[in-house]
A and B are shown apart, each in its own frame.
Chain A
Amino acid sequence: DTAVSQTPKYLVTQMGNDKSIKCEQNLGHDTMYWYKQDSKKFLKIMFSYNNKELIINETVPNRFSPKSPDKAHLNLHINSLELGDSAVYFCASSWTGATNEKLFFGSGTQLSVL
């Protein structure tokens, strides 16, 4: 029983395409996140949602649009993919989103834009 699961694990696509990554957590957490990990392993937060409400929206191009249909799901849709979008994208969740909570991460989606 995977706590935070994201699909697909690998995504290879052409520049200009639109793609989505799905994430689901079965931990009963209120807050979900998307993180981006670049080729140097640097992890940076992109978005966080608390109970379907957007809380954190970092400086991310508006081609990236998160959607949270319910508190157990946070999907990431990316329009007009660019070469620089190639990275590993991690979904995560935590209980309330408070600053002193540990995050539970999914296993990542490796996106390759050709």
Chain B
Amino acid sequence: GESVGLHLPTLSVQEGDNSIINCAYSNSASDYFIWYKQESGKGPQFIIDIRSNMDKRQGQRVTVLLNKTVKHLSLQIAATQPGDSAVYFCAETYHLIYNQGGKLIFGQGTELSVKP
């Protein structure tokens, strides 16, 4: 899960290894979850999403797992590459009252560092 503290949680992996980034979300009513990747000096970029009626979704080299029982989300990156080095954010949304629009709540973020 996420660390709570003053410093951004970090994960250091060797190139070619698999990475697992964890996230604990806060609202049991959340029904849509997204992972974003933020490279240095850039804005967050969409990676993969999952709805609450699913527990697993696969993309290209990435897999998201959702465990609603314990409100836990994870992002698995296969064969991690140096270009995967970034801060990864999980985000959750839940429906607001009518006409209030979507509200995306971001988690703390985890910094992934890939060693060549």
- Residues of A that sit less than 8 Å from B by CB: 4, 31, 40-45, 48, 50, 55-56, 90, 92, 94, 97-108
With a cutoff of 8 Å between Cβ atoms, the chain B residues found around residue A104 in the complex are 46
| Sample (5) of A-B pairs whose CB atoms are under 8 Å apart | A55-B99, A55-B101, A99-B31, A99-B101, A102-B46
How far is B104's CA from A99's CA once the two chains are assembled, in angstroms?
7
Asked if A41 contacts B87 (CB within 8 A), the reply is yes
Asked if B43 contacts A99 (CB within 8 A), the reply is no
* Contacts known (A99-B31, A99-B93, A100-B32); A90 close to B101, Cβ less than 8 A: no
Asked if B43 contacts A101 (CB within 8 A), the reply is no
How far is B49's CA from A101's CA once the two chains are assembled, in angstroms?
9
How far is B29's CA from A89's CA once the two chains are assembled, in angstroms?
28
* A41, A43, A56, A94 pick with most chain B CB within 10 angstroms: A43
Asked if A56 contacts B43 (CB within 8 A), the reply is no
Task: Enumerate B51-100 residues with CB–CB distance to A below 8 Å.
Answer: 51, 87, 89, 93-96, 99-100
With a cutoff of 8 Å between Cβ atoms, the chain A residues found around residue B49 in the complex are 100, 102
Known A-B contacts: A99-B102, A103-B44, A103-B104. Give 5 more (CB < 8 A): A42-B108, A55-B99, A90-B43, A94-B102, A102-B49
For chain B, give the interface size range.
20 to 34
With a cutoff of 8 Å between Cβ atoms, the chain B residues found around residue A42 in the complex are 106, 108-109
Cβ 8 A contact of B34, one of A50, A92, A97, A102: A102
Asked if B104 contacts A90 (CB within 8 A), the reply is no
Asked if B8 contacts A40 (CB within 8 A), the reply is yes
B116 at the interface (CB under 8 A from A): no
Asked if B43 contacts A92 (CB within 8 A), the reply is yes
Closest 5 CB pairs of A and B: A105-B43, A99-B102, A55-B101, A43-B106, A102-B46
Residue of B nearest to A94 (CB): B102
